[in-house]
Structures are given as C-alpha cells and as structure tokens.
Structure 1
Amino acid sequence: MIKFPDNFLWGAAASAPQTEGHSLLNGKSETTWDKWFEEKPELFNQGQGPQNTSNVYEMYHEDILNMVNIGMNSYRTSISWARLLPDGTHLNQEAVEFYRSYFQDMLNEGIEPIINLFHFDMPWWLMEKGGWENRQSVDAFAYYAQIAFEQFGDLVHKWTTFNEPMVHIESGYLYGYHYPAIVDFKKAVQVGYHTLLAHVSAVKAFRDSYNDGKIGIILNVSPAYSKSNQAGDLQAKTYSDLLSVKSFLDPAVKGTIPEKLIKLLTDNELSPKVESGDRQLINDNRVDFVGINYYQPRRVQAPINPNKPAKMPEDLFANYDWPDKKINPYRGWEIYPEALYDIALMMRDEYGNIPWYVSENGMGVADEERFMDDGMIDDQYRIDFIKEHLEQLHKGIAAGSNCFGYHMWTFVDCWSWLNGYRNRYGFYRVDLNDHFQRSVKKSGLWFKELTRNNGF
C-alpha cells in the first residue's frame, strides 16, 4: 500500500463565482462575469451564466456533511470580493454572516478551510476604472484582503491571495478567452505586474494584522518539456518556464523577479511600468506555502520565423505536439502524471523545500450521464487519473519533497466560466434539472476509502 504522511490534507477545491450562485442577490455587486453574460450570453455554453452555478449559497451545510461522508479533512474555496465589499469600500454584513457561518460549519465538522481571495472574479466597479491595468487595483485589493483577514481571521488559518494569476492574465489580455478579451502582450505583462504587487501587498496586510495563520498563493504550473536537446528547443523551454512558472513562483517564494525574465521582457520591449519601492515590497513579503494546480505539461520547441521583438509568447516558444501523448479528449489536455514528480523535485531543489500542496488536479468529462449505472455515475476514469497522479506525488514525497496535501478539482460539479456545465469534475453530481440535487459518484466512494486508509 502507498501511504501518505500523517495529517495529510485530503480534500477538494472550488471558488465562490463557480459555486455560490446568488450572483446578484444578498448585496453582491456585479463582476466582469455578470456583466459579460448580460452583454453577450451567446458566448456561454447553453446560456449557462453565473447566476445560480451550484447554489452553494443555500446548500453549503448539506455540502459540508457530504464532505464528511467521503472523508475530506480540508476544503479550499474563495471569498467573492464583490459580495464582501460591493462598492470596494462598504462592508456587506450579510456576506460576513454567510461566510462566517460557512467557515464555522466546516470547522464544526473537522474540515479545515483554506480560503482564497481572488479567483478571476473582478468586481465591475473596479473594471470600470481599468481593472488590473490600473495600479489603483493594487491598493484596492490590499484593502479587501485586510478586511477579509479582520472579519474571518479567527476562523481561517490558511489563506491564499490568488488562484492561478497566469490565467486571468493570459485569458483576459493575451488570448481573448475571458473579459475584457484583449490580445496585447505588453498589456498582459503590466496586468501581471500589478497582480504580483497586489499579491505582495495582501501578504503585507496579513503580516501587519498579526494573524496567527499562514498565507500563500496558488499557481497553475505546467512544466515545459522541450522537443529535443538542441539549443533552440532548450531556449524555448527556458522562456516558457520563465513566463509561465517562475514569473510568480520566484517572487512569491524567493522575493525576487528572475533577472533572466527582466532581460527577456526588456529585450522584447515588454517591460512594465514600475515604481521605486516595488522591489523591496516584493522582497519583504514572501509566502509561507504554495498551492500548485497541475493538470497538464507544456511541450515546446523553437519557433519558426518568430517576430522580433516578440508580439506573442509563441514568438518565444512554439507548441510541440508530442506523438506519444495520452489525451483527455474533452478538454484537449495531455495526461502526464510524471510531471507531478518533477514538480515535487523542483519545489524541493529550487525553492528551498517550502511547504506546498497539490491545490488542484482533476479530470473534466463531458456527458457523464452516459456512465450512469444504477443511479450512480461510474467514473472509473477519474479514479484511475487520481491513482496515477498520487503514485507520482508519493514518489516525490518519498524523495523528500515537502508536500502536505492533495486537493481535487472539484467537490460538486461546478460552473466553468464560458464552458458552463459542459465538463463535469466533481466527486458529487449536480442535477441542474432537479433543484441542484447532489449525488455521489463512484470516485467519491473511492476517495472515502483513500482518506480512511491515508493511502491506497
């Protein structure tokens, strides 16, 4: 049997905008998702917008009991900035009562809450001022963080600032997937820089509050693997890792932006606007732990005839279609569990063996109703996926990597942005046609055995 360390965190992850529902009720103001759905509902799968998602606002108590039923001892979700501070200044007392009840319920049932502050849900009032393009967003986020720590710091002892900051940067400012759907490499770099400053400013607010907990950041890490050992392919790997991995991991853990990244941006006329004092702020506010979201690797090769200076990341590294890949056809993502072992060693060897955990890992599958068997979805493919990844994670822990937990995306099927409910990820099915009724899948029962044995 593969056994995991004592007190290992077994759980799942989600976010406020993808689960809570009540998106314009109970004092919450609009986010970019509410506004985009209002303006362009045709962009959203089957017209599924952010209004109801999984109705956790009403059903959180039932959900927490279901967490207990499958052996979870921890859960990561987020606070909605637009719910807590609808205008950025005034506290929504109903939101405070909701979140305090939600978090206390977790604690009462032995579930440790890990609470994240930002999961792609930019408040509309701030978006109207330029969102992350505007440096005012840094102070606005720091104030929001401070309020959250004050209101919930007695209940929550593990905090994170951002979930996957690279996603709102790339999706919103490079590839047009998320609002405001801009394609501009230089703007994306500036948005990334302001996001980094918002992160370290929130860490500073946490330290200044004398909170007795820990604070970290959650990063999506897709390690780059080069097509060959030729110089051009290896340089493509270096560029990919600098932009996608080290850009946030280095400042968060080491307190410095890599000099190679600074040079890369300078050489390509992409450098962000900075102010004196920024470097010191970054250096002084490092994290206590890191969450790593891992779904897929990145295969890269040297680009052919790239633009110079680079107009897009593809001018620095081109995608390589590895012929031996195993694929999840529903997302088009490669399944490569071995990268989780490589990540474990990277955290051990390059980042001082800082405490870290797998904050997301999961498999989205469309039309899961096909696999209904006697009233339960038989998602053996998800069980196999988890096993393969846990084997590699255990190998990394055995090699000395300081990993303290594993969270699946996600607990109950959730709304996934423009994709709506096209792909399902949960341990529990959500029936959208029957008042959001929950029912456990086969993977949930397997997870219960996993947590009971602390291994498999």
Structure 2
Amino acid sequence: MSDRSFPTGFLWGVAGSGHQTEGDNIDSDTWFAEQVTPTVFREPSGRACGSYERWREDVALAAGMGLSAYRFSVEWARVEPHAGTFSEEALDHYEAVVDECLALGLAPVVTFNHFTSPHWFAKRGGWLDPEAPEAFARYCGRVMDRFGDRIAVAVTLNEPNLARLLTWLDLPEFVRDLERATLVAASEAAGVPAYRLSNVMLPEEMDAIADGMTAGHVAARAAIRRRRPDLPVGLSIAVIDDVVDGDDASVRDRKRAEVYERWLRLARDDDFVGVQNYERVHYDGFGAVPPPEGAPLNQMGTEVEPLSLAGAVRYAHEVAGVPVLVTEHGMATPDDTLRAEFIEPALAGLLDAVEDGVPVLGYLHWTLLDNFEWIFGYSFQYGLHEVDRETLTRTAKPSAGVYAAIARAGAVRSPVVAG
C-alpha cells in the first residue's frame, strides 16, 4: 500500500447540530411539533445527548481524534427566544464553544440555522412570512457581532432542499398524511392559522418556502459579509449521487432540476457550497432502480456505496462553480463494521476528485455522536461515538479510530499496482 495525501490546509472535522445533540431546546419550533398529537416525530428529542451542558466533552472528543475542524449550529431559538429579544446567556454559551474550539486547534464551522427556528418564527408562518429573511439576517448579525471575528466558516442554512428531496424517496403515504396532520395540530395548539417548520413541509408550499429561504440566505450572507468580508460563507445542500443506468437520463435530470439546481445556482455567489451526501441512487428512463439483491444497505434502504461522495461533489462543483466543503457525509447503520469499512474508500474517491481539479476545502463527518435524527428519533445511528440513552456516556466506536487515523495522516492508502 502507498499513501496518497490530501492538500495542505484541508479541513478534517465532524459535524453536528444543536437540536439533535443539546437537549431541552424548548423555545424551538421542532420541540413544539414533537409534543403535539398527532406528530410525525417518532419520539421527542428530550435530553438529546445533553450537549448543552457537556459541550466541552464533545469538543475534546473531536480534538482528541486529531481533527482540525468542528461544525456545530447556533440555535436561533436559544439566542432569540422571543422576537427581538436576545439572550446574553446563550450568546455567551456559543462564544465559549468557539473559543474552546480555537484553544484546542479546531476551526469553528458555524451553522446559523440547522432546520430548527424559534417558536415565534414558526407561529408567523416560518419562511412563508415576508419578513422572515429580515428577521433571520438580524439574528445572524447579532451572532456575528458577538463572535464572528473568531469563526472559520459560516453556513447560513442547512439542507434547504431536503423537503423536496424527500418527495423523491419511497416514503409510505401515511408519513405524508402524518406530516400534514402534525402541522394542523401544531397550528391549532399555537392558536395560529399556519404554524410552519423547515423540516416538515406541505408539497403545495415547498416552492414558496424555498423562495423565502433563498431570500433568507441572501440577506444573511449580506449581513455576515458586512461584518467580515473575508469570512467564507455559503449554504449546505443534500446531494444524493444520482447516476443513470442505460442511456435515458430523463428521470435523473428531472430530479436534479427539481431538487438541486436552484440551490447550486444560488451558491454561485457564495464562497463555497456545502455538500451533504449519504447515498447513491440509480435511475433508468422509468424511475429509481432498486439495489441488487443481497447488497449491503444503510438504514435508509439504499445500497452502501463509498463512491457516492465523489459523485455528489463533482456534480455540485460542476453546476455551482465554487469550491466544495463536505459539510456532512456518513452512514445510518447500527453496524459500525460497515461504517468503519466505508470511510477510507469514500475518502479515496474524494481525493480522486481533488486530484482531478475539484477544489475541496475539507471533509466533516456526520456525526460525532449518535443523536436525535428528527422524525426517526433515536432509531438511526450515524455517530462515531455511541451515547448511552440513560447516562449519556459517550463511547468511541471502531469507526472513530479509523477516521482519526486518516485525519491525523491527512492521507488515504491506495494499492500499489505492479507493472
């Protein structure tokens, strides 16, 4: 075997989000929607991983793996629990996380909105509210004023295309019905005509919400750049590696037009585009082609394919034309052997893309901890560390060691071909 090295300055990190790890995010829209009846959320987030209190432990875990970057989200609902009222305690908290990252040699990659928003924002209709972009930019500006001088990368929105992407997945019809019922129940409980979330959307509202989020990104980007023009700013999008079987690309191309292209075109004015990839799906002229019988599958039911990451990155860069930051990549599986075997070939494929000229700034694995996975609750495992649901004790899995070794070396192994 021989080593192939990534470029100097390549970021090696892990990604996570506030609501999924912190716990007790009681002023957020998702917390509220978890409590209503009926709800599409399998279970409430509750204490999650207790990371609001145990954040130093989590940052230390990342640093102990020899990583150079730590992506986390600032929870808008904590920072601005009531419209126009900002919490100094919450700002102090997130500022301390940034400073701890820097003290331990980790570049702070900060997401300003990772799906969850304040309860008051959802009561106004979320991103359907014409004033939503201005409200989001105001919040981003307040965060930047507090510690924007010390963060390394700014991500405005996380996966604004996810709801549209999910329409292409084979989810049971009762899930769609339950999403609608959840929003009805939340609206009634909140006493408003339309309580709206970013991660539970009605099909007929997706375009209008996307318009609001597009305007929100533009407004937030401007607010961030006004305060710090040198800070790399972008957004992250979910990108499945969609490949064509045969010579009819019509279905694949229609999916790309519906799911990705708005956001990749938007990213042309950004400093980078964040790519979040977990799977590859094959399409012929009729639709999705099921995985081969007996192929190893992840918990989403798609085939385990390490090279999906490189495919997604190449496509995103081709359309957006800006550098790529892999803001999430991983695998939903309770079998850590699959995850451990998956990481290096995925990164080898990513390095192939880099060597072919695709500018990739770094790789952030999802995720450090097994956490709350939205409507799936705690039934999906993506973490490099297991979290005991009673004690919240973190325990490293073998995959954490595999990833740490690659990050420390900044290289992957490739077979030496005789000749």
Above 0.5 in TM-score?
yes
Structure 2 partner of 1:142: 137
Displacement of 1:451:
1.7
Structure 1 partner of 2:352: 395
1:293 to 269, 276, 285: 276
Does residue 441 in structure 1 map to residue 397 in structure 2? Answer: yes
Greater Cα shift, 76-85 or 331-340: 331-340
Distance 1:73 1:177 in 2: 41
Distance 1:91 1:217 in 2: 24
8 Å CA contact 2:18, 2:72 repeated in 1? yes
Structure 2 partner of 1:245: 260
Letter in 1 for 2:273: V
Displacement of 1:169:
5.3
Q: 1:77 to 1:212 in 2, by over 3 A?
A: same
Does residue 39 in structure 1 map to residue 39 in structure 2? Answer: no
Q: Give the secondary structure class of the aligned counterpart of 1:406.
A: strand
Distance 2:201 2:276 in 1: 25
Displacement of 1:326:
3.8
Distance 1:439 1:210 in 2: 38
Letter in 1 for 2:243: Y
Greater Cα shift, 154-163 or 109-118: 154-163
Does residue 205 in structure 1 map to residue 223 in structure 2? Answer: yes
Structure 2 partner of 1:260: none
% same residue: 26
Distance 1:102 1:41 in 2: 36
2:183 to 143, 168, 180: 180
Does residue 351 in structure 1 map to residue 320 in structure 2? Answer: yes
Structure 2 partner of 1:55: 50
8 Å CA contact 2:328, 2:366 repeated in 1? yes
Does residue 64 in structure 1 map to residue 59 in structure 2? Answer: yes
Displacement of 1:293:
0.3
Q: For residues 273-320 of structure 1, give each alpha carbon's deviation from its aligned partner in whole angstroms, at most 9, with x where no partner exists.
A: xxxxxxxxxxxxx211111001112333445xxxxxxxxxxxxxx433
Letter in 2 for 1:295: Y
8 Å CA contact 2:10, 2:361 repeated in 1? yes
Q: For residues 24-74 of structure 1, give each alpha carbon's deviation from its aligned partner in whole angstroms, at most 9, with x where no partner exists.
A: 3xxxx2x222112221377544x4x12311111111111112112111110
Displacement of 1:185:
3.5
Displacement of 1:164:
0.6
8 Å CA contact 1:291, 1:359 repeated in 2? yes
Structure 1 partner of 2:110: 115
Q: Give the secondary structure class of the aligned counterpart of 2:183.
A: coil
Q: For residues 223-278 of structure 1, give each alpha carbon's deviation from its aligned partner in whole angstroms, at most 9, with x where no partner exists.
A: 33234313xxx22222111111111011221xxxxxxxxxxxxxxxxxxxxxxxxx
1:336 to 290, 296, 305: 305
Q: 1:50 to 1:132 in 2, by over 3 A?
A: same
Distance 1:42 1:185 in 2: 17
Distance 1:4 1:151 in 2: 34
Q: 1:90 to 1:169 in 2, by over 3 A?
A: farther
Letter in 2 for 1:215: V
Distance 2:57 2:311 in 1: 38
Does residue 196 in structure 1 map to residue 214 in structure 2? Answer: yes
Structure 1 partner of 2:160: 165
Q: 1:160 to 1:386 in 2, by over 3 A?
A: same
Distance 1:324 1:249 in 2: 34
Distance 1:89 1:12 in 2: 32
Aligned residues: 386
Structure 2: any 5+ residue segments left out of the alignment? 168-174, 185-199, 413-419
Structure 1: any 5+ residue segments left out of the alignment? 254-285, 304-317, 369-378
Structure 2 partner of 1:407: 364
Q: 1:177 to 1:75 in 2, by over 3 A?
A: farther
Q: For residues 178-225 of structure 1, give each alpha carbon's deviation from its aligned partner in whole angstroms, at most 9, with x where no partner exists.
A: 663877544111111111111111111122224431111111111332
8 Å CA contact 1:169, 1:191 repeated in 2? no
Distance 1:177 1:16 in 2: 25
Q: Give the secondary structure class of the aligned counterpart of 1:383.
A: helix
Structure 2 partner of 1:13: 15
Displacement of 1:150:
1.3
8 Å CA contact 2:165, 2:259 repeated in 1? no
Displacement of 1:344:
3.7
Structure 1 partner of 2:417: none
Q: Aligned-residue CA RMSD in angstroms?
A: 2.3
Q: 1:384 to 1:82 in 2, by over 3 A?
A: same
8 Å CA contact 1:325, 1:334 repeated in 2? no
Structure 2 partner of 1:450: 406
Q: TM-score, normalized by length of structure 2?
A: 0.85
8 Å CA contact 1:175, 1:183 repeated in 2? no
Structure 2 partner of 1:2: 4
8 Å CA contact 1:218, 1:290 repeated in 2? yes
Q: 1:163 to 1:176 in 2, by over 3 A?
A: farther
Q: For residues 4-23 of structure 1, give each alpha carbon's deviation from its aligned partner in whole angstroms, at most 9, with x where no partner exists.
A: 11121111111011011132
Letter in 1 for 2:274: G
Q: For residues 366-423 of structure 1, give each alpha carbon's deviation from its aligned partner in whole angstroms, at most 9, with x where no partner exists.
A: 3x6xxxxxxxxxx232111111211110111111110121111101111111222112
Q: 1:166 to 1:327 in 2, by over 3 A?
A: farther
Q: 1:101 to 1:293 in 2, by over 3 A?
A: same
8 Å CA contact 1:222, 1:245 repeated in 2? no
Structure 2 partner of 1:365: 333
Q: Give the secondary structure class of the aligned counterpart of 1:86.
A: coil
8 Å CA contact 1:100, 1:152 repeated in 2? yes
Does residue 74 in structure 1 map to residue 58 in structure 2? Answer: no
Q: 1:135 to 1:228 in 2, by over 3 A?
A: farther
Distance 2:183 2:16 in 1: 23
